[in-house]
A and B are shown apart, each in its own frame.
Chain A
Amino acid sequence: MFDPRIIGVGQSIYTRHPNDEQTVHNLMKDAVLDALQDANLKHKEIDGLAIASFSITPDSAIDIAWRFGLSLNWLLQDTNGGSSAMNMLGHASRAIKTGAAKNILILAGDATGLSGYAKIANSYNSATRDHLSPLGHGGPNGVYSLVTSRQMKKYNLEKSDYANLLISQRNWASKNPYAVYKNELTQEEYNSAPIVADPLCRYDCVPVVAGAYAIIISKNENERLKRQVRIRALEQSFNYENQEGDGTETGITTFRDKLFETARLAPQDIGVLSIYDDYPAIVLAQLNDLRIIKDEKLRDYLDGMKEKTEPVNTWGGMLSAGQPGGMAGGLNGIGEVVLQLQNRAGERQLNDVNFGIVTGYGMTLYRHGGTVAAAILEAI
């Protein structure tokens, strides 16, 4: 069966302080225009739309189709937070394989502002609203502060060990013109940063931005590109342990072997990685579950980042480039791997990359996230 191609990526500006014109709809418009141009498609050629956003309310997917002048055969609205991008990618790929659509626009964006994000965080689900928010738990920062403490205890990590991951991603962000934080980050700055929720400091907490991202997946190739990108394997897990684990492992453990077997690859074959990075501990948990980190030696991996540049979150990740809602942040990770595989990543370009991995993680249910997904993308 034909494998759909990811034929275009596009994004809006990312900004910590949006002006009156930088609404979620306007930012999405910018991302769509960028992606259409990149895909060499006309607006009328889009016949499918997948969308995810916390802040298009009261609009929904059909409103966006209408306002954006899109008449469609296929429509999806996803609400799975940090896993939405991967979820939409999977659904869109299957829709193209079955002939339900030919060119699907996958779109995500948010412009909540800090106070809007705080409202979302405090009523994220009924468990949060009823059992956590009344404690003043600090939203996801509070939840993942406890997960991080458990990870530190389990793997004998010091708080300062996490700095190398943040410094590495900041170095990558310095080469991403869209990143909101590009300045060099030092170990000293990390160690002395204000604590937000012990042990998490300012640099461990993903900065909320306004922005949007779009990708286009198609039945056809983009003839302007020398290298096409297809999905070689994609796996997902939802509510894999009913919140009964400690959050230091993810649902990746349920599908890791199948993911690599389907792709007929091993972790060492992967040349670029976009690992969903709302918090450093979650990046490490996913890398560990994927066996990118060998023998569960998290500290050795972090120490190694001082000497060797790891191809992880080469756009700077959400921790440096910004989180335009978890949904668009997830799409940005997919787009970055596509650009790397097509040798279009500019100053960030890696050498000889043929396979990349992308993950999504999200939907903090009570003690940690309940959704996770991973895909292996291939350049052909």
Chain B
Amino acid sequence: MEKLFIQKCSKCNKCTFPKKYFCSDCGGTEFDMISINEGKVQEISVIRHMLGQKDWTPRKIANIETTLGVYITAGIEDTAKVGDMLEIYSDNGAPVGKVIKER
């Protein structure tokens, strides 16, 4: 798995995800790419049914507050709980998290 990168505006330092072309605060168009390393689980949902699919294995997604203050939606391990700290990766652009510290 690869690092997950977010944008930091070169002009005003605002961080954002997914990719933007203009900074919503200052209108800047230059961004530095910063890796998100960790985040905290805020809410979890188990997706138990998928539209149009009969053989679906339930999986967990979560709202993650990253250490950079940006909220992302990530796939998480079955054992992850609200309040756990996760290491964040990118799986072909989709954020995923692995528990590094339990609540």
Count of chain B residues with Cβ under 8 Å from any Cβ of A? 30
Which residues of A lie under 8 Å from residue B93 when comparing CB positions?
130-131, 134
- Determine if B49 and A138 form an interchain contact, defined as CB atoms under 8 angstroms apart: yes
- Determine if A197 and B44 form an interchain contact, defined as CB atoms under 8 angstroms apart: no
- Determine if B63 and A135 form an interchain contact, defined as CB atoms under 8 angstroms apart: no
- Determine if A198 and B94 form an interchain contact, defined as CB atoms under 8 angstroms apart: no
- Determine if A367 and B71 form an interchain contact, defined as CB atoms under 8 angstroms apart: yes
Is residue A136 contacting chain B, with contact meaning CB distance below 8 A?
Answer: yes
- Determine if B73 and A146 form an interchain contact, defined as CB atoms under 8 angstroms apart: yes
- Determine if B51 and A130 form an interchain contact, defined as CB atoms under 8 angstroms apart: no
Shortest CB-to-CB span from B86 to chain A, Å, is 14
- Determine if B51 and A132 form an interchain contact, defined as CB atoms under 8 angstroms apart: no
- Determine if A142 and B43 form an interchain contact, defined as CB atoms under 8 angstroms apart: no
Which of these binds chain B: A90-98, A111-119, A227-235, A372-380? A111-119
Question: Which of B43, B51, B96 is A121 in contact with, Cβ under 8 Å?
Answer: B51
- Determine if B49 and A146 form an interchain contact, defined as CB atoms under 8 angstroms apart: no
- Determine if B59 and A135 form an interchain contact, defined as CB atoms under 8 angstroms apart: yes
- Determine if A142 and B61 form an interchain contact, defined as CB atoms under 8 angstroms apart: yes
Is residue B1 contacting chain A, with contact meaning CB distance below 8 A?
Answer: no
In the complex, chain B residues 47-80 whose Cβ is within 8 Å of any chain A Cβ: 47-53, 59, 61-63, 71-75
- Determine if A135 and B51 form an interchain contact, defined as CB atoms under 8 angstroms apart: no
Which residues of B lie under 8 Å from residue A198 when comparing CB positions?
44-46, 48
Contact digits for A134-150, partner B, Cβ 8 Å, 1 yes 0 no: 11111101110110011
- Determine if A131 and B63 form an interchain contact, defined as CB atoms under 8 angstroms apart: no
- By beta carbon, the residue of chain A nearest B63 is A146
- By beta carbon, the residue of chain A nearest B91 is A134
> Which A residues are closer than 8 A to B by beta carbons?
114-115, 117-119, 121, 126-127, 130-139, 141-143, 145-146, 149-150, 153, 194-200, 242, 244, 246, 366-367
For this complex, 19 residue pairs linking A to B, each with C-beta atoms less than 8 Å apart, are A127-B18, A130-B93, A131-B73, A135-B75, A135-B95, A136-B50, A136-B61, A137-B61, A138-B61, A141-B49, A142-B45, A142-B47, A145-B45, A146-B63, A195-B48, A197-B48, A198-B46, A366-B18, A367-B63
> Which B residues are closer than 8 A to A by beta carbons?
16, 18, 24, 42-53, 59, 61-63, 71-75, 91-96
